[in-house]
Structure 1
Amino acid sequence: MKPQLSVIVIVHDMRREAPRTLFSLSPGYQQGVAAEDYEVVVIENGSTDPLPAKEVERIAPSFRYHRHETSSSSPVDAVNLGVEMARGECVAVCVDGARILTPGILQHMLAAFRAFPNPFVYTLGWHLGEEVQNLSIKSGYDQAAEDRLLDSVDWRANGYALFSVAALALSCREGWFSALAESNCFALCKSEFVRLGGFDPHFQAPGGGLVNLDFFALACAAPELTPVLLLGEGTFHQFHGGVATNVAMAEHPWEKFHQEYVRLRGKTYAPPSFSPEYLGRLSPEARRFLPSKT
């Protein structure tokens, strides 16, 4: 029997971070879904220190591992390959395998596919720590500090506890009703991903540059798709030396990313304007990120 949903996880030299992410996709952690409802396809993207395949595949029978040999520092080809390998009619894409998921993401993604005829489901993102890691890195935040932080909350038993030790990503700074320009965990029908052209392989900047923003805008503008933001769920970025997330703001590669975007699209980048539907519920831990009353 085919799974309803295929979750594509892209990893690159994430021996420390990926096991936590994959645990957060395990049937024992995810709530309201059965193991046979979904599969997880892990694409190891050109890593010099890859995960052991057996370590991934023993998490659950529905976990698959594929090593993608490439010299590219962009995840674009890996994402497209993962979707091609997917057995489910719907695909969820986790572009950055260093992000831990909350326990209700898969349940609510599947609920969105039942509630809407053709949804584009997306989530907000957080950084572990008191502030975004582009800032906390200046105060000494690193992997050791993050390990201590994660040890301070029983997130494996209650993934929503992660909200208490995290800060909203800059792309989501307004909280639950932010107007987003990208999502690091989104889902849609596999056929729609293909129809939209997938991730444009010409985006070859490190980390993919603005390819995630490019696809997000494309999906939100597609008249056939209904954007659906999941309330109360999200992903939490672990410190792993990310090309854009783990550098000081003064060193952020936005300008190089934008130059590639302009060259490929012939225009400056502008975030999409759209009105999403909302689905989900806010746990007590998640309510601290409601917009402030003025």
Structure 2
Amino acid sequence: MSRPALSIVVIGFDMARELPRTVTSLLPPYQRGVAPDEVEIIVVDNGSTQPLRRELFPAEADVRVLRVDEGGVSPCRAINQGVALARAEHVALMIDGARMVSPGMIRAALDAAALHSRAFVATLGFHLGPKVQQVSVEEGYTREVEDRLLADIGWPQGDGYRLFEICALGESYAMGVLVPPTETTFFVMRKAMFQAIGGYDERFVQLGGGLASFDFFRRAVEAAGDGFIMLVGEGTFHQLHYGATTQAGGVRREVDPGVSLGDLYGREYESIVGQPYRRVDHMPLLVGRITHPSVPRLFFATAG
């Protein structure tokens, strides 16, 4: 078996509806400019109630399913175990397996990764629907509404860039690419670099990993230096699955009297890192193109 150009690790928990769409979006022919043997996908089932079956995904594709039963409610251990299995020099991570991607994502990310020996290539994340889902679910947005939106744009057979017509910027990306985000929903970097900076910190054990992705993003940007790259014109699109931070209320919902989920996340972060969270201020190199008329409005959100 030839060595792939990219190993994509996809983390899932109780996502039997969403993961097949995610995997479809990561494979040719939906993905443009890559051959089938250039991509391997490692789907890590982080203790789903009903174990994921390999049969959910195309038989001809290079897809493996790894079951992790001891990961707890945080995906960090599942992430590190998935990356350890990667055969490619470069790895990509989707910490949330409910995210589909735009059709040029892999080609654009690989080309960007070739620009720097320490490249850390990150992307913006969007939510399907009219608003971020923690808000839209309180206004009538459902999985059935989402299914109709996808059918209306002919996904996946039609132009995948039409996903930009039915989405909203996620909260972590509300300022577009003109301000560094707090995390990323899809990144590409060398596997050796991922491991050299310690991977995901498994001390983050809160629901959904807490601020583990914020912590990893900060460390990756610091390690990359001038190799920090943000893609323009490609993104991920979150399907509704009522996740830890995307159900009604998001991180603002109370989990104890007077204590929000965000409060718990912040406390855990400070106890592990030794200081409160602060946004990175290192500006990225922007790489990409205008792939859809909505791209300027979404990616350059702070421009007016």
Q: TM-score, structure 2 length as denominator?
A: 0.92
Q: Deviations over 1:204-226 (max 9, x none)?
A: 10100000000000011125661
Higher mean alpha-carbon deviation, 25-34 vs 85-94, is at: 25-34
State whether structure 2 residue 296 is matched by structure 1 residue 287. yes
Higher mean alpha-carbon deviation, 127-136 vs 174-183, is at: 174-183
| Matched-pair identity in % | 38
State whether structure 2 residue 63 is matched by structure 1 residue 63. yes
Q: Deviations over 1:132-187 (max 9, x none)?
A: 11111111212122112211111312111010000001111122423211001111
Are residues 271 and 292 of structure 1, via their aligned partners in 2, closer, same or farther at CA, if it must alter by over 3 Å? closer
Looking at structure 2, the residues matched to 52 and 292 of structure 1 have their Cα atoms a distance apart, in angstroms, of 43
Are residues 199 and 225 of structure 1, via their aligned partners in 2, closer, same or farther at CA, if it must alter by over 3 Å? farther
Looking at structure 1, the residues matched to 234 and 96 of structure 2 have their Cα atoms a distance apart, in angstroms, of 17
- Cα distance, 1:51 vs structure 2: 2.5
- Cα distance, 1:57 vs structure 2: 5.4
Looking at structure 2, the residues matched to 146 and 122 of structure 1 have their Cα atoms a distance apart, in angstroms, of 26
- Cα distance, 1:260 vs structure 2: 0.8
Letter in 2 for 1:214: D
Aligned partner of 1:272 in structure 2 is 280
4+ residue runs of structure 1 moved beyond 3 angstroms?
290-294
State whether structure 2 residue 40 is matched by structure 1 residue 39. yes
Looking at structure 2, the residues matched to 86 and 225 of structure 1 have their Cα atoms a distance apart, in angstroms, of 25
Higher mean alpha-carbon deviation, 38-47 vs 152-161, is at: 152-161
Looking at structure 2, the residues matched to 41 and 162 of structure 1 have their Cα atoms a distance apart, in angstroms, of 24
Aligned partner of 1:81 in structure 2 is 81
Unaligned runs of 5+ in 1: none
Aligned partner of 1:108 in structure 2 is 108
Looking at structure 2, the residues matched to 102 and 57 of structure 1 have their Cα atoms a distance apart, in angstroms, of 19
Aligned partner of 1:228 in structure 2 is 229
Letter in 2 for 1:287: P
Looking at structure 2, the residues matched to 151 and 54 of structure 1 have their Cα atoms a distance apart, in angstroms, of 23
CA RMSD of aligned residues (A): 1.6
Letter in 1 for 2:236: T
Q: Deviations over 1:26-70 (max 9, x none)?
A: 111100111111211111110012332122251x33111111122
Unaligned runs of 5+ in 2: 254-259
Higher mean alpha-carbon deviation, 85-94 vs 41-50, is at: 41-50
Looking at structure 2, the residues matched to 244 and 234 of structure 1 have their Cα atoms a distance apart, in angstroms, of 19
Aligned partner of 2:147 in structure 1 is 147
Looking at structure 2, the residues matched to 81 and 93 of structure 1 have their Cα atoms a distance apart, in angstroms, of 12
Q: How many residues align?
A: 293
Higher mean alpha-carbon deviation, 213-222 vs 133-142, is at: 133-142
Aligned partner of 2:130 in structure 1 is 130
Letter in 2 for 1:269: Y
Letter in 1 for 2:84: E
State whether structure 2 residue 207 is matched by structure 1 residue 206. yes
Looking at structure 2, the residues matched to 224 and 288 of structure 1 have their Cα atoms a distance apart, in angstroms, of 28
Looking at structure 2, the residues matched to 226 and 208 of structure 1 have their Cα atoms a distance apart, in angstroms, of 26
Looking at structure 2, the residues matched to 116 and 71 of structure 1 have their Cα atoms a distance apart, in angstroms, of 33
- Cα distance, 1:293 vs structure 2: 4.9
Looking at structure 2, the residues matched to 189 and 224 of structure 1 have their Cα atoms a distance apart, in angstroms, of 14
Q: TM-score, structure 1 length as denominator?
A: 0.95
Looking at structure 1, the residues matched to 175 and 161 of structure 2 have their Cα atoms a distance apart, in angstroms, of 19
